Amino acid sequence: MQVLVHGRPVGLALPAVMGILNVTPDSFSDGGRYASLEAAIDQGLRMAADGASIIDVGGESTRPGASPVDTGEELRRVLPVIEGLAARLDVPLSVDTSKPEVMRAAVAAGAGLINDVRALEAHGALEAAAASGAAVCLMHMRGEPRSMQEDPCYGDVVAEVGAYLAARVEACRRAGIAPERISVDPGIGFGKRPEHNLALLAALDRLAEPGVPVLIGVSRKSLVGIITGRPPGERLAGSLAFAALAVARGAAIVRAHDVAATVDVVKVASALRSAGSGGSLQ
């Protein structure tokens, strides 16, 4: 399995680790830490050296309760970082955005993947992504970041999220986005209770059509905190446990803050998964 990023295949036989680079003042885990251009570029270079296969640059927090950021401010945050990293790295870059204007500018600056928590549902987003030639990741979110955790309800969360992602994949295909440019994300923590998140993680292998890579992002999230009782900065062990279990259930991309440790865990979990299917260590 692979996904095309700017026409270049990113192999997913060994699951890829996507490094999280938040250039925001208010992200739940590392808000403000990489707000300066120098700090952000240094962190991107560090993640690449640690083994990240993709680096995801985000300029608007989507944590529960987050307020929206206007387009101009989001562009000011992400474009210099993407340009700076594109000039220094051969690692594919992703932009975490829902705004068509940011998608177009970020791809022009060097991003090869659009990671959208709204699954290209914003007005003009689907058309912008299709025209860009970039790969896309379509995430499920119920509601909006400001209110998504106020009382999320599902009949069958696995069936409902799976059906939504399938519909968005089909919308992308109809818009001219080639299948090999598409991946999906069940949106752990986005409009879901802990029991919903756990059900989705347990059913990852049933959430996507064959050949559609699944991205999983649980790194430092509240689900880990609820289970372990630890604050965001102390959730590495729990995050790594979820990463390993996600790989065992078929995740193709693991989105993480702690790249080096996650790369090691993904290698071990992938080796075990391969052995279970009759493969061998490479």
pLDDT in tens, 65-88: 777 899 999 999 999 999 999 999
Return the higher-pLDDT residue of 19 and 148. Answer: 19
Strand order in the sheet with 182-185: 182-185, 135-139, 113-116, 93-96, 54-58, 16-22, 253-256, 215-217
- Break the chain into its structural domains and give their ranges: 2-276
Inform me whether the pLDDT recorded for 31 exceeds 80. no
Residue 253 buriedness (CB in 10 A; 0-12 / 13-18 / 19+): buried
| Residue 1: per-residue pLDDT | 43
| Residue 25: per-residue pLDDT | 78
Inform me whether the pLDDT recorded for 44 exceeds 60. yes
Q: What is the pLDDT of residues 92-134, one digit of tens each?
A: 999 999 999 999 999 999 999 999 999 999 999 999 999 999 9
pLDDT band at 267 (very low <50, low <70, confident <90, very high): very high
Q: What is the DSSP letter of 214?
A: B
Average pLDDT over residues 6-34: 70
Average pLDDT over residues 187-213: 93
Return the higher-pLDDT residue of 61 and 160. Answer: 160
| Residue 68: per-residue pLDDT | 82
Inform me whether the pLDDT recorded for 153 exceeds 50. yes
Q: Catalytic positions, please?
A: 221, 255
| Residue 27: per-residue pLDDT | 55
Mean pLDDT score across all residues of the chain: 90
Of the chain, the percentage scoring pLDDT greater than 70 comes to 89
Return the higher-pLDDT residue of 143 and 135. Answer: 135
pLDDT band at 36 (very low <50, low <70, confident <90, very high): confident
pLDDT band at 7 (very low <50, low <70, confident <90, very high): low
- Which of 125-129, 178-182, 217-221 is the least confident region? 178-182
Plot region of 26 (φ>0 → left; ψ -120 to 50 → alpha; else → beta): alpha
Q: Helix, strand or coil for residue 119?
A: coil
| Residue 3: per-residue pLDDT | 54
Inform me whether the pLDDT recorded for 8 exceeds 90. no
**CATH code for 2-276?**
3.20.20.20
Quote the tokens at residue 160.
């409902």
CA torsion angle 258 17 57 194 (round to 10): -70
Average pLDDT over residues 226-235: 95
Return the higher-pLDDT residue of 135 and 278. Answer: 135
What global pTM score does this model have?
Answer: 0.91
- Which of 133-147, 190-204, 224-238 is the least confident region? 133-147
Average pLDDT over residues 180-206: 95
